[in-house]
Amino acid sequence: MNLYEKIKNKKEKMSVIGLGYVGLPLAISFAKVVDVIGFDISKKKIESYINGIDVTKEVGDTALKETTATFTFNEEDLKKAKFHIVAVPTPINKDKTPNLKPVIGASKTLGRNLAKDSIVVYESTVYPGVTEEVCVPILESESGLKCGVDFKVGYSPERINPGDKMHRLENIVKVVSGMDEESLNIIAKVYELVVQAGVYKAESIKVAEAAKVIENSQRDINIAFMNELSIIFNKMGIDTKAVLKAAGTKWNFLNFTPGLVGGHCIGVDPYYLTYKAEQMGYHSQIILAGRKINDNMGKYVAENTIKLMIKANKQIKGSKVAVLGLTFKENCPDVRNTKVIDIINELEEYGINIIIHDPQADKNEVFDVYGIELRKFEDIKDVDAVILAVPHEDYRTLSLENISFFYNDNYTNINGNDDVKKVLIDVKGMFNRNEAEKMGYLYWRL
């Protein structure tokens, strides 16, 4: 009986290390068919899960209350498992270089508690070579075991899309890889227990690592192209959304739109690839050019907000701007690496007072990470401009009439003229431009 059969028959347990937006759905899904230990170093997070509170909003409180998975922050519990999935984040440093501290830390923790004849699968996004050249030596030194003899490793890139209720773990094809044929087959069969869409066996661990890092790099480049088009068309006085709608009638036109690229994947992963390329003596041209454009879009939105406020004859210093949405994407509570913060920081440099609202974000996390106090809807009043930064479903119930109540009732400008248009920055184009302009808004979008 190999390890897959033991896992399937509940003779052995599996663990998921790192219970965030990727790890938690993994643990919950696998717990429906096998015995799962969910481990995270955050005692606060584990206590929330044990109490049935899903801080990620990825699986829901009900699923947490009903799951058979065991949640723990005690690393010694990992000794009870033989199949381990590492799903910790891989962020970047301030200088845009890979920050491997979480994956190194997880490898040390697991190594200290690694049992003989185990299989370790990494899901964290990394550049090609990290699993075998960085993680394996740590597992060996911490455990005293020999890779290939006492334990084996594999890599299976995560493809979960936070906040997306359609593309889930179960219905996305899973790329899997192993250090040899035996480990590859066992890893594939274990994932097939929960992935209904099936698995794809990559030729090697490095191939699987590379596949993951280019998936997000490709998306990043395509969005950067749309953002550059937005900048160009804005200068020409042409509506970008209208242009894309017209171009989209061609069968092979790619459906990408301009926007803020943040989060822990698309805005981060390309730097892992370009870092490794630099080490190999190649300086990226296309990938880094795309990153430069996308990294500057928050500042670009802020600059256009200022321009419209000046056009509306509003005094900039001491004015009040409402920002609706802070998370890195719609319908997701994750505020890590959100580019909305770039808009806020830029506006604050002009002496503008910012009121921030987000129905999805956790107010305590926002305060801990950014020192920002999220406000309630009723706090949004007497503002000089509104920036609809993140098109959450919660905001789709808002009408242009609703938004009009956020502004200063008199809405007088510095010249004393009260016939002034209301500045509305609709970053992702949620509203109809013509309707907004007919209602007297000074309207702008990417």
**pLDDT (0 to 100) of residue 413:** 47
Stretch among 59-73, 81-95, 263-277, 387-401 having the lowest mean pLDDT: 263-277
For residue 102, give Cα distances in angstroms to 99, 109, 301, 331. 8, 10, 33, 26
Q: Is residue 224 part of a domain?
A: no
Stretch among 35-39, 54-58, 97-101, 320-324 having the lowest mean pLDDT: 54-58
On the question of pLDDT at 294 being above 90, the answer is yes
Mean pLDDT of the chain: 92
Q: Is residue 238 part of a domain?
A: no
Q: What gap in Å lies between CA 312 and CA 386, rounded to an integer?
A: 13
CB 19 within 8 A of CB 50: no
CB 3 within 8 A of CB 83: yes
The DSSP 8-state label assigned to residue 407 in this structure reads B
pLDDT tens profile 383-414 = 999 999 999 999 999 999 999 999 976 544 44
Task: Look at residues 434, 13, 408, 441 and name the one whose alpha carbon lies nearest to residue 190.
Answer: 13
Going 123 to 125 to 130 to 135, the CA torsion angle's sign is negative
On the question of pLDDT at 96 being above 80, the answer is yes
pLDDT tens profile 24-35 = 999 999 999 999
On the question of pLDDT at 162 being above 90, the answer is no
- Domain match, 187 and 304 both: no
Give the burial class of 185: count Cβ atoms within 10 A of its Cβ; 0-12 exposed, 13-18 middle, 19 or more buried. middle
**Catalytic positions, written as ranges:** 265
Question: Total structural domains in the chain?
Answer: 2
Q: How far does the chain reach from its first CA to its final CA, in angstroms?
A: 58
- Domain match, 315 and 185 both: no
Between 222 and 267, the higher pLDDT residue: 222
- Domain match, 197 and 336 both: no
For residue 349, give Cα distances in angstroms to 292, 301, 353, 384. 21, 14, 10, 16
- Which pLDDT band, with edges at 50, 70 and 90, does 160 fall under? confident
Stretch among 33-47, 113-127, 158-172 having the lowest mean pLDDT: 158-172
CB 334 within 8 A of CB 327: yes
Q: Which runs of consecutive H residues, i.e. helices, occur in 85-127?
A: 101-112
Task: Considering only the C-alpha atoms of the chain, give the largest distance between any 2 of them, rounded to a whole number of Å.
Answer: 84
CB 338 within 8 A of CB 365: no
**pLDDT (0 to 100) of residue 164:** 63
Residue at which a domain ends, from 139, 174, 204? 204
- Domain match, 192 and 303 both: no
Q: What gap in Å lies between CA 260 and CA 427, rounded to an integer?
A: 8
- Domain match, 70 and 200 both: yes
Tokens of 225: 């192209």
- Domain match, 26 and 160 both: yes
On the question of pLDDT at 348 being above 80, the answer is yes
Length of the chain: 446
Q: Is residue 227 part of a domain?
A: no
CB 187 within 8 A of CB 220: no
**pLDDT (0 to 100) of residue 420:** 62
Phi, psi for residue 17 in degrees, rounded to 5? -105, 115
- Domain match, 64 and 170 both: yes
pLDDT tens profile 131-145 = 999 999 999 999 999
Domain encompassing residue 96: 3-204
Q: Please report, for the domain that includes residue 404, its CATH number.
A: 3.40.50.720
Residue at which a domain ends, from 178, 204, 230? 204
pLDDT tens profile 219-266 = 999 999 999 999 999 999 999 999 999 999 999 999 999 999 987 788
Q: Is residue 63 part of a domain?
A: yes
- Domain match, 312 and 196 both: no
**pLDDT (0 to 100) of residue 414:** 45
For residue 266, give Cα distances in angstroms to 109, 222, 227, 295, 336. 28, 11, 15, 11, 12
Tell me the three state secondary structure of residue 236: helix
Instruction: Please give the share of the chain, as a percent, with pLDDT higher than 90.
Output: 85
**pLDDT (0 to 100) of residue 171:** 80
- Domain match, 315 and 417 both: yes
Residues whose CB is less than 8 angstroms from the CB of residue 423 and which lie 6 or more positions away in sequence, other chains included = 305, 308, 309, 312, 314, 384, 385, 386, 441, 442, 444
Q: Is residue 289 part of a domain?
A: no
- Domain match, 322 and 421 both: yes
Q: Is residue 252 part of a domain?
A: no
**pLDDT (0 to 100) of residue 166:** 66
* Strand residues in 289-409 grouped as ranges (E): 320-324, 353-357, 385-388
Q: C-alpha 87: how far from its chain's center? A: 14
Instruction: Please give the share of the chain, as a percent, with pLDDT higher than 70.
Output: 96
What is the bridge-based pairing of β-strands 422-426 and 320-324?
Answer: unpaired
Q: What gap in Å lies between CA 382 and CA 410, rounded to an integer?
A: 9
Q: Kindly report the CA angle at 431 between 397 and 429, in degrees rounded to 5?
A: 120
Q: Is residue 421 part of a domain?
A: yes
Q: Is residue 286 part of a domain?
A: no
Looking at residues 350-373, what average pLDDT do you find? 93
- Domain match, 199 and 329 both: no
- Domain match, 318 and 196 both: no
Residue at which a domain ends, from 149, 172, 204? 204
pLDDT tens profile 173-225 = 999 999 999 999 999 999 999 999 899 999 999 999 999 999 999 999 999 99
Task: Look at residues 256, 259, 260, 261 and name the one whose alpha carbon lies nearest to residue 244.
Answer: 256
What is the bridge-based pairing of β-strands 320-324 and 385-388?
Answer: parallel
